[in-house]
Structure 1
């Protein structure tokens, strides 16, 4: 009899734990996509001074490559999109505090960021490209030996060039500028032999100045861009990934890329 009571007690205890676990599981179900549908919109956090990804035009409206992608994705998801300028150095905190729903602004996927947030599928691969004048005889990184190269101070381009010690040590000089526009202007005037720049930025400026510059096939490394999403928002992420996949499949993402960069640089 005692054995039966002990066995019954164990069964009841185990069942209690199981039911408790089920209750917790139900409470932790991700409702992020349902929440977005109920609101009818999702909020994109961005730095609105980052052309061509997201910036204010002459009319004060926020435009850009990422802006067009986000609008198209929202359309396919059946909701609206709202753009909210946020201080870049605190944007991940804004996301996790639910001040915004996503970060969509040329956000590089890094291991450090993966510890804090989730990412959509890769939608664009950026790389550090080499820009020269259209009439330049330079055709590869090896041809940069003894040449003067310009880049933006503190940029990814500076880090990428420094990491390629064979090339960086062969240069005559590296000139550092406050912005890429100034560097490209000096290249045009013949004060530089080449400029190292983010492809997303470089191709945008090149599309505005056709026939003046060209890019080399060589580059200084690649990096992936993704949309930053809260780790808890897996159902929302799934729907956003579906929208991005469909935009790639039917060529819409290609058209948006051609508009802003003059080339398809959408990740496959």
Structure 2
């Protein structure tokens, strides 16, 4: 699936960029002046191509680049703070997150503890299986059967989707999103339903796996960055900056680097 982001062209695009650029010019200096400390960006680091831990080198990914570039515009250092999907709600407040990044879906339950940026793309859930399974797990009906071993990482939208759609299957909750693909690869699980963008990235690292129908996922949802609750200045600065990145194609180029035809495996 081509990652779908906002695309503008011609005069409309020029007007859009000019408007957001003017807003950014007014709110970003104010945000930078009022908030001179490090920008605390919380992330799980287990959801490439959005965010992945890289050992001593910290984190990398599309959302990591976005957070670093936004902090640079503010003239602030960025500090990445580790969180988990299962504890994101409590971690966001307790660890004093300014923003949260890493492939976060627009879910109403998350609006309780954070505000959302504008949507910077859409994605959807698709099955990941062994290539030897062919098309055996292509549909929800094929997966939702007794004896089918579904696996999902604990605490995020993948678990929610699995619980809602596969009540008759055998569900295993996995503690992290880093080693879960090995469970399928080694035959200890049959299928993992996750975001198609992640699936397209991961199967390049696991040649025995396949992502099924990424062009037509089971559902569709927006991807956002979380912002500290009721911080209108920071939210306005983030949205103004992010809108210019969308309008100028910068977000598209980031995804091309990670999942495009010429992307490297890493």
Structure 2 CA distance, aligned partners of 1:243 and 1:174?
A: 41
CA contact (8 A) 1:32 1:234 kept: no
Larger Rg: 1
CA distance in 1, matches of 2:178, 2:236: 38
- Which of residues 110, 113, 120 in structure 1 aligns to 2:117? 120
2:211 aligns to what? Answer: 214
Question: Residue 111 in 1 paired to residue 108 in 2?
Answer: yes
Return the match for 2:42 from 46, 53, 59: 46
More helix by share: 1
Partner residue of 1:249? 247
Structure 1 residues without counterparts, runs of 5 or longer: 1-30, 264-268
1:141 matched residue in structure 2: 140
1:231 Cα shift? 4.4
Give yes or no for contact 1:42–1:81 (8 Å, CA) kept in 2.
Answer: yes
- Name the SS for the 1:104 alignment partner: strand
Q: Provide Cα deviations, 1:137-167, integer angstroms capped at 9, x if missing partner.
A: 3343344365623212534323212312xx5
Structure 1: distance between partners of 2:180 and 2:110:
30
Pick closer, same or farther for the CA change 1:101–1:110 going to 2, 3 Å: same
Q: Give the number of equivalent residue pairs.
A: 226
Q: Is the 8 A contact 1:131 1:215 kept in 2?
A: yes
What residue number does 1:205 align with?
A: 202
4+ aligned runs moved over 6 Å, structure 1: none
The equivalent residue for 2:11 is none
For 1:145-156, list aligned pairs within 5 A.
146=145, 148-152=148-152, 154-155=154-155, 156=157
* 2:58 equivalent among 50, 58, 61: 61
Aligned to 1:5: none
How far apart, CA to CA, are the structure 2 residues paired with 1:106 and 1:234? Answer: 22
Query: Unmatched 5+ residue regions in structure 2?
Result: 1-26, 262-266
Distance between the aligned counterparts of 1:61 and 1:190, measured in 2? 31
Q: Give the TM-score normalised by structure 1.
A: 0.65
